[in-house]
Chains A and B, each alone.
Chain A
Amino acid sequence: MRWLALVMMVGALGACAEVKPWQRGPLTHHSMDPNDKATQLAGEFNAHVFDVREGCKPGGGFAGGGCGCN
């Protein structure tokens, strides 16, 4: 068990990929910024869809019956 844990830990460390300084463009995209307005709006929209779908157990702060009309 200890061996398995050790191998998994080492494997996880080895999985790190180096991003070179000139390859960081995609990381600067606004979708990578949790404070970005568009990202937040998309998050709220997804939360609303989730709440409507799972109306019987609202977890995102919205009350609703799952009728899809809220």
Chain B
Amino acid sequence: MRRAVIAALLSTAACASTPKSAPQAETLEFELPSTTGAAVSPKSFAGKVVLVDFWATWCKPCEASFPFYDELVKKYGEQGFVMLAVSVDEDDDAVARFLEAKPVSFTILRDPAGTVPERLDLKTMPTAVLIGRDGAVKHIHEGFVEEDRAAITRMVEEQLGATDP
């Protein structure tokens, strides 16, 4: 009896920090406001390859990834590559200051409440979700280091080469 009580108490305590398993989403659906005020959804880019990146101004790897993503957009934009960067910052001013100092050519969306990362149960920042021309999630890339450039470029190129069903 005593052992059962101890086991029950310990299992209750363990629940507090048990991570949930990431859902294997087939599609990524959301609608978020951009920094210009327009509501944007990945659905709006049907037939294109969309990379949705979850980032924040306080996240150093996110900052390091932006020049690379800018290059990708410039290189593959005409072939149908679209970049949507979802900022989870709580402070609008922080995002504005960041973008003023480091302007980018792609669309910045705002999700200060973290509703989409919560739904996806993201494990790290940044996380990039690659959506193919058919609207299905093809890859989820967690984190960013300089060595990831080649792998991400290859993933994007693969999807750009894939035909729209």
- Chain B residues near A20 (CB, 8 Å)? 114, 117-118, 122
Contact B89 A15 (CB under 8 A): no
Residues 1-36 of B at the A interface (beta carbon under 8 Å)? 6, 9-10, 12-17, 19
SS of A interface (majority) = helix
- Over the window 74-107 of chain B, the binary record of Cβ atoms lying under 8 Å from chain A Cβ atoms (1 yes, 0 no) is 0000000000000011110000000000000000
Residues of B within 8 A of A26 (CB): 90
List, in ascending order, chain A residues with CB within 8 A of B54's CB: 22
- Within the complex, what minimum Cβ distance (angstroms) separates A39 from chain B? 16
- Distance in Å: Cβ of A10 to nearest Cβ of chain B: 4
* A25 & B117 in contact (Cβ 8 Å cutoff): no
Judging by beta carbons under 8 Å apart, are B118 and A25 in contact?
no
Chain B at the A interface: SS class: loop
Q: Are B125 and A10 in contact (CB under 8 A)?
A: no
A24 to B17, CA, bound (A): 16
- Contacting residue for A21 out of B10, B17, B117, CB 8 A: B117
Cβ-based interface call for A14 (8 A) = yes
B118, A21: Cβ atoms closer than 8 Å? no
Cβ distance B119 to chain A, nearest Cβ, rounded Å: 11
Say whether B58 faces chain A, with CB atoms less than 8 Å apart: yes
How many residues on the B side are at the interface (Cβ–Cβ under 8 A)?
A: 24
The listed residue (B9, B89, B122, B124) touching A6 by CB distance below 8 A is: B9
**How many residues of A are in contact with the other chain, CB < 8 A?**
18
Q: Using Cβ atoms and an 8 Å threshold, which residues of chain A touch B122?
A: 20-22
Bound Cα distance A21, B114 (Å): 10
State whether the Cβ of B56 lies closer than 8 Å to any Cβ in chain A.
Answer: yes
Residue B154 is within 8 A (CB to CB) of chain A in the complex:
no
**Shortest distance between the CB of B95 and any CB in chain A (Å):** 11
Tell me the B residues contacting A by CB distance below 8 Å. Answer: 6, 9-10, 12-17, 19, 54, 56, 58, 88-91, 114, 117-118, 122-125
The 8 closest A-B pairs by CB, nearest first: A13-B13, A28-B58, A22-B88, A14-B13, A22-B114, A10-B9, A22-B117, A21-B125
10 pairs, A vs B, C-beta closer than 8 Å: A7-B9, A10-B9, A10-B12, A10-B13, A16-B16, A16-B17, A20-B117, A21-B123, A22-B114, A25-B88
